[in-house]
Amino acid sequence: MKVRDIVAALEGILLTGEDMLDVDIEAACGADLMSDVMAFVKENVVLLTGLVNPQSIRTADLMDIRVVVFVRGKMPPKDMIAEAQRNGMAVIATKYSMFLACGRLYEAGIRGGGTREIR
């Protein structure tokens, strides 16, 4: 599914990354704790998070995650958008909660996301 379809499914606003609109994304990860992202993510994912601070952008960059969605109507400050832009990332803001945003992407066709054994 293309980044432009993600923006549409989330009725989101693309804050940076126009050149990313035709990039294909097959999996998603929803998390507010960054070490959970680092424990889970293997493939090329879109990261959905309610964590609006520079660490979300930095963690994503480190994991080679190119698309970040801020849920719950949160608007990242300008300097965060600028950092994402420098990293060549797409940033999307959506009014939907984490649950609804993930549900909408699942419904729209994103199925990957990774599992771990229960320990």
Partner 1 sequence: MKLCYDVPGADLSLAGKASAEVKRALGRLGVDPGAIKRTAVAMYEAEMNMVIHGGGGVATAELSPDRVVITMADRGPGIPDLELAMREGYSTAPAWIREMGFGAGMGLPNMERNADELHIDSTPGKGTTVTIVVNLGGVAQK
The nearest distance, CB 70 to partner 1, in angstroms, is 12
Which of the stretches 2-10, 57-65, 92-100, 101-109 binds partner 1 when contact is defined by CB under 8 A?
A: 57-65
Phi/psi region, residue 44 (left: phi>0; alpha: psi -120 to 50; beta: rest), is beta
Pick from 32, 3, 34, 1: nearest CA to 112: 1
Kindly state the number of chain residues that form the binding site for partner 1, as judged by CB under 8 A.
20
Q: Which of residues 3-42 bind partner 1 (CB under 8 A)?
A: 32-36, 38-39
Of 21, 54, 95, 98, the one binding partner 1 (CB under 8 A) is 54
Which of the stretches 5-13, 19-27, 58-66, 96-104 binds partner 1 when contact is defined by CB under 8 A?
A: 58-66
